[in-house]
Amino acid sequence: MKKLLPNKNEQSPETNSTVLVPLTAKEKLVLEFIEQELVTKGISPSYQEICNHFGFASFNSVQNYLKQLSQKGYVLLPQNQKRAIVILHSAKDFAKDLSQRLSLSKNPSEQDLQSSFNPSTNSGNDSKVLSIPFLGRVAAGSPIERVHEHEFLQVPADMIKAVGDYFALKVEGDSMIDEGIFDGDYLIVLSQKAAKDGDLVVASIEQEATVKRFFQKKNLEISADQKMVELRPANPRLTSMWYHPQQVEIKGLVKALFRKY
């Protein structure tokens, strides 16, 4: 897939300013922590403090995230200086920049944003596209995930029905074919950690992801007193997968499907 990461110095024709690149969910959390430390303590956190806060195994993870934030133009990392991270853009600036590039009002409300992404209220929106972070492949079969950094998928803006943090995944497998989800399709996923019965979710089990229908109920064959998580396929050849709740991490809800021909 063609990478869509713009040059840091690329200028937006609508705003004549730097076009910001969307952050991954983890990049956003790291940037927000740095911002919080600067506001509350007046000094940027050390690598050790970032490492401890997120439970990273080593400084390499901290360095990788800071390098990604620097390459995307959100921070400046002065050489050979401790606690010297400079914030160039807030984690919230991408949403503001995107709103301006979509010709929204200067300070749009959430309702305004939702209307602008709805083709029924904005017929001129069909030609607009959004760059959604592409995180890799998700199984519609057995769990699998391959994460790609700095890669984005361009999708029609009218596929996004509400504001939020979205990411894209490419489907592998056929376990959801009765839902109309086929091998090679792209899913647009709203990032969130909770789900209710019947939601179509991307869930992670032991750091591998799968797309299934989510249910939480008792399964007497596994546990008589605790509700289990059922990840239900949509293929008559396959059976549900059952897990203890602590084994399952919800990554997000599937909101749209994008198919390339």
Task: State the CB neighbour count (10 A cutoff) for residue 107.
Answer: 8
Relative to beta strand 129-139, strand 86-87 is unpaired
Select which of 44, 116, 131, 175 is catalytic. 175
Beta-strand runs (E) in 37-127: 75-76, 86-87
What are the φ and ψ backbone dihedral angles of 50, each rounded to 5 degrees? -65, -45
CB-CB contact of 65 with 25 (8 Å): no
Q: CA–CA separation, 261 vs 255, rounded Å?
A: 20
What are the φ and ψ backbone dihedral angles of 106, each rounded to 5 degrees? -60, -40
Beta-strand runs (E) in the chain: 75-76, 86-87, 129-139, 152-156, 166-172, 186-191, 200-205, 208-219, 223-232, 241-243, 248-258
State yes or no: is 92 an active-site residue: no
State yes or no: is 175 an active-site residue: yes
Select which of 28, 72, 170, 212 is catalytic. 212
Q: CA–CA separation, 46 vs 44, rounded Å?
A: 7
- Mind telling me the catalytic residues? 175, 212
